[in-house]
């Protein structure tokens, strides 16, 4: 058994090549091999979001606070709120982040495949990001 205290969890700024705006990440679980699970608490300031990306084994997001937006490639933008959970299929191109006027915090759960958890792609355009969410 290993217990990681909250005091030992380091908050890191999201890398500029993966995010638009200010994003903060806390790695909660990075299980040693042969386990593959990764869990992060990700905090997005208003307007902040990921770039388009995929996950080789999929990703689950559980919204903790605020108001967020999610979209899969070719689909509609959707609003998400606390208690909502989103599943992205393996290899499904998507983005997620905060709403324009509200911060958002989610838990992100994914597995590593050969050490890789994410495949980053291009930035989400401001026009795309500001598309009105589907009802």
Q: Kindly list the averaged pLDDT for each block of 10 residues, start to end, along the chain of length 135.
A: 88 96 96 94 98 98 98 98 98 98 98 95 97 93
Q: What is the reported pLDDT for 9? A: 86
Q: What is the reported pLDDT for 7? A: 86
Residue 80 lies in a domain: yes
Residue 6 lies in a domain: no
For 56-59, which contacts have Cβ atoms below 8 Å and span 24 or more sequence positions? 56/90, 56/91, 56/113, 56/116, 56/117, 56/119, 57/90, 57/110, 57/111, 57/112, 57/113, 58/87, 58/88, 58/89, 58/90, 58/92, 58/110, 58/111, 59/87, 59/88, 59/108, 59/109, 59/110
Residue 21 lies in a domain: yes
What's the CATH number where 102 sits? 2.60.120.10
Q: What is the reported pLDDT for 6? A: 86
Q: What is the reported pLDDT for 4? A: 86
Host domain of residue 30? 15-114
**Total domain count, the chain:** 1
Residue 8 lies in a domain: no
Residue 123 lies in a domain: no
């Amino acid at each position: 058994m290993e217990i990681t205290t909250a005091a030992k969890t380091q908050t890191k700024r999201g890398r500029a090549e993966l995010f638009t705006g200010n994003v903060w990440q806390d790695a909660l679980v990075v299980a040693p091999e042969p386990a593959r699970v990764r869990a992060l608490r990700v905090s997005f300031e208003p307007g902040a979001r990921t770039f388009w990306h995929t996950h080789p084994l999929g990703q689950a997001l559980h919204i903790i606070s605020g108001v967020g937006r999610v979209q899969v490639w070719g689909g509609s933008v959707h609003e998400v709120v606390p208690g909502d959970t989103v599943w992205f299929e393996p290899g499904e191109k998507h983005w997620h982040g905060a709403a324009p006027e509200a911060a958002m915090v989610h838990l992100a759960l994914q597995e590593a495949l050969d050490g890789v958890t994410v495949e980053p792609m291009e930035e989400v355009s401001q026009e795309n990001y500001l598309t009105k969410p589907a009802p």
